[in-house]
Structures are given as structure tokens and as C-alpha cells.
Chains A and B, each alone.
Chain A
Amino acid sequence: MSNENRIDTYRRKLLGGGAALVAGVTIAPGVILNTVAQAAKPGDRPLDRPVDDSVRWGLLVDANKCDGCEKCVTACHETHGVKSHGRPETDAQWIRVVKLRDRKTGYEQQLPVMCQHCKHPPCVDVCPTGASMKRADGIVLVDKHICIGCRYCMMACPYKARSFIHESLEGEQLPHAPRGKGTVESCTMCVYRVDNGQQPACVEACAAEHGEEGKALIFGDLKDPNSEISQQLKKYGGKQIRADLKLDTGVRYQGI
């Protein structure tokens, strides 16, 4: 999409406040605003404009559809250059597939768990430097430029979502995934991909493996009632892991 089109879509969204718009709304006598009902997509925002809170990006995981193939994990770690250093205890994990087993019935399920992109993130509350931060569109990130590696955020996160880089990675990084020794990192919801109009790597990999019908991951704007994710949540509901903590997570689960 050209940047001009992006600006149009963006304006449309701002004017409509994110809600569905009826085609051809009259905003003043003689002025017809031609708009179509359109869900917000990644990449709608022109790249020279700051993110704002007109969107909130979220993920929906359907545990019933997840077969534990770990394609999402591979995709994530390959995209961001996350590799094992042969020490599983300290190797970085941006996303992991967790297996649950009901002891009484023996019923087993698996589901991917990553940073839950909390609306009220404890990791941001405890960070002494402001490195742990939440973007206006709900994506929680570490600004590694100012992270001092104290690891408070790792302790504060109820989901064990964060990892610390112990090894020097010099010369091994990918251009769009800077990573370095002494800093903390976690799932970024593929922030640069989303800004550039792509889906997160895990979501794309899951759909590529299981098809549109069978995919276990949906990404989209939680604030937009027309987005696939909001429609799904409206129809079938969705749970937060440890909802009792009232963190209002951006990652929701079905079938748990």
C-alpha cells in the first residue's frame, strides 16, 4: 500500500473513531464522506506519525486448535535471531508452548504463552529506568538503550515472559531485531512487522501450517468491533491467564 493510501485509511479510522462506518455519511449539507466499513489493520498508520491509542493490538489463542507443533516458536525465534547457547536454563524464550495436563482425567492441552501485553504491566511499574514501557497502542517493550539489566521486570512478570541475554551476541544480530548482552527482552508482538503492515511472525506461521480454518492464533485490534479478533471474542468469549491479577492482558485464550 502506498503511503498516501495509508494516510487515507488512517484518517478514515480517526474520523470514525474506530467504529464501523456506513458508506456515504453526510457530515454537512452537500458534503458526503465516502467511507466503507473497514477493520483496522497493521500498517494503517503512516510511518511518520506517532502511535496513538486509537488501536490496541491483541492476540487470541485458541487452545483447542493448537496441536503443539511449535511452528510459532520457531518462526518467532528465527525472525528475531534468538538462538540457543546450549544452556536451556538461561536461553532466551520469547514464546513457549506450555502443556497442561488434568491429573484426574488425563486430558492434555497445549498453548503458546508469550508476553501478555498487559494494560497495567507490572514490569513497567517496577522498572527503575523507564526502559520497560508500554506503547500507546498497547505493545509492551523494553527500550534496550536504557535498560540496565537489573532484571526487576523479570521478577515482576507473573507470566515469566522475559529473558535476560547473558551472552555477547556481537555480529550475530538481524537488522530489525537488535539484541545485546546485559539487557532484558520479551515478545514485542513483532512491533516492526506490525508497523510495516505485516502480521506477527507466530500468527503467520500458524496460519501457514494449519490454514485459515485450523489456525490457533489471531492478531488484531481489540478496540475495533469489526476486527476478526473482536468478532471472535464477541462470539465465543476469551479468557485471560490469571485474570484475577486484573492486568487486562492483550493476549486472550479460548478453550482453557
Chain B
Amino acid sequence: MRLTRQLKVTLALIGLASLLITAGAHAEPPLPDIPKGKGEQCVEPTPVMRKQHFEFILRHRDLTMHEGIRTKKYSLVECINCHVVPNEKGEYPRFGSDEHFCSSCHNYASVKIDCFQCHADKPESAYGKAKGKFNHALGGSNPHHFSNKAAGPLSKGDLELVSAENNSHE
């Protein structure tokens, strides 16, 4: 008899618990705060990009590396150009911080990526147009990058200089 009563109580508790869990599921889960990019629309619809961005990037990576295809769509450099924007102080967020587009979501989802062990986490515009003739807009002897040991955030002055030069390049 006692056993059955205990069983009843346990069952009731389980029922209550599952009720609570389902009720909890209806509440809004916390979402990452994803920084807004430059453009209006990404190269594919947002739900597609959310699910498949890495398939696009991976395929493009191999095409670029082995076949020399350098179209802009799906290029990682272009992702960064659009998605990593400076804050009010003109500083670019670095990969790892929640303000950086890629890490804002990857931190949230606990998905570790290693793109930025090799690739630049800042847009091309952050590097400016080099002074040397041979460097064009690809970085190079830009004072920020070569005289500073650690590439910290860019100052507002640097940025003004850089964007003025960049405009003339287009």
C-alpha cells in the first residue's frame, strides 16, 4: 500500500515537473545580440545564411585556393568588410568579443572556430591604403600595422586618415 502511495506521489511530481518544463519552453529564450552589418541584405536570405553560411564559405575557400576564383560573393574578406563595423569611438571589435559579428553568435552557441587564427578579423577599410606604391589598398606599410607590435583598436584619427584615402581608391 505504502509503495503505491509513494508511486502516486512520484508520478504526480513528474507530471508537475513536465508541466513546468513545457511552460518554460514557451518563454522567450535568451538570444545573442548580433551587431548589424553595413548593407541591407546579405548575399543569401538570412535564414539560409544562418544555417548554411559555413557551407558557402568552405566551398568558396577551396575554389579560391585551388582554382583562383576570386568573386566577392561568399568571400570571407567580404563577409568581414560588411559585418564588422567600428563602434562610436571608431574602434573595430576584435574576434572573441561579443561585439564582433562572428563571435557574437559563436560565443552564444559555444561553437569554436579557428578562422581568425590566420584570417584578419577586421575589414579592409581598417587597414587603409598604404603609402608605398606597391601596396595599394591591401594593407602593407600602413603605419598602424607595421610600427605597432600588437595591432590594437584603431584610433579615430587613424580612421579618418584611412577612410579619406580609401574613398579616393574607389
What CA separation (Å) do A200 and B157 show in the bound complex? 31
Q: A79-B140, A83-B146, A176-B77 are in contact. Are A49 and B69 (CB under 8 A)?
A: yes
**Nearest opposing residue in chain A for B115, CB measure:** A178
| Closest beta carbon of chain A to B70's beta carbon, Å | 4
Within 8 A of A (CB), among B124-142: 124, 127, 130, 132-136, 138-141
Whether B117 contacts A79 by the Cβ 8 Å rule is no
Q: A141-B65, A175-B139, A205-B132 are in contact. Are A180 and B117 (CB under 8 A)?
A: yes
Query: Does A75 belong to the interface (CB within 8 Å)?
Result: yes
**A176 to chain B: which residues have CB within 8 Å?**
77, 124, 138-139
Query: Does A159 belong to the interface (CB within 8 Å)?
Result: no
Interface size class, chain B: 35 or more
Whether B66 contacts A135 by the Cβ 8 Å rule is yes
Query: Does A2 belong to the interface (CB within 8 Å)?
Result: no
Whether B134 contacts A51 by the Cβ 8 Å rule is no
Query: Does A13 belong to the interface (CB within 8 Å)?
Result: no
Query: Does B151 belong to the interface (CB within 8 Å)?
Result: yes
**For the complex, would chain B's binding face be called helix, strand, loop or mixed by DSSP majority?**
loop
**Nearest opposing residue in chain B for A139, CB measure:** B68
What CA separation (Å) do A181 and B114 show in the bound complex? 11
**B139 to chain A: which residues have CB within 8 Å?**
79, 81, 174-177
**B118 to chain A: which residues have CB within 8 Å?**
144, 169, 173, 178-180, 183
**B67 to chain A: which residues have CB within 8 Å?**
50-51, 135-136
| Closest beta carbon of chain A to B147's beta carbon, Å | 11
Whether A50 contacts B119 by the Cβ 8 Å rule is no
Whether B140 contacts A175 by the Cβ 8 Å rule is no
What CA separation (Å) do A75 and B136 show in the bound complex? 12
- How many residues of chain A get a CB closer than 8 Å to chain B's CBs? 44
Whether B80 contacts A201 by the Cβ 8 Å rule is no
Interface string of A175-214 (1 = CB under 8 A from B): 1111111010000000111011010010011001000000
**Nearest opposing residue in chain A for B141, CB measure:** A78
What CA separation (Å) do A182 and B7 show in the bound complex? 60
Query: Does B86 belong to the interface (CB within 8 Å)?
Result: no
| Closest beta carbon of chain B to A38's beta carbon, Å | 21
What CA separation (Å) do A87 and B157 show in the bound complex? 33
**Nearest opposing residue in chain B for A174, CB measure:** B139
Interface string of A64-98 (1 = CB under 8 A from B): 00000000000100110101000000000000000
Whether B132 contacts A191 by the Cβ 8 Å rule is no
The one of A133, A144, A175 that contacts B138, using a Cβ cutoff of 8 Å: A175
Q: A135-B66, A192-B70 are in contact. Are A78 and B135 (CB under 8 A)?
A: yes
The one of B66, B69, B145 that contacts A133, using a Cβ cutoff of 8 Å: B66
**B133 to chain A: which residues have CB within 8 Å?**
204-205, 208
**B61 to chain A: which residues have CB within 8 Å?**
145
| Closest beta carbon of chain B to A194's beta carbon, Å | 9
Whether A135 contacts B68 by the Cβ 8 Å rule is yes
- Interchain residue pairs A-B with the least CB separation, the first 4: A180-B118, A50-B67, A174-B139, A51-B68
User: Can you give 9 contacting A-B residue pairs, CB < 8 Å?
Assistant: A47-B69, A48-B69, A171-B116, A175-B120, A181-B117, A193-B138, A201-B134, A201-B135, A201-B140
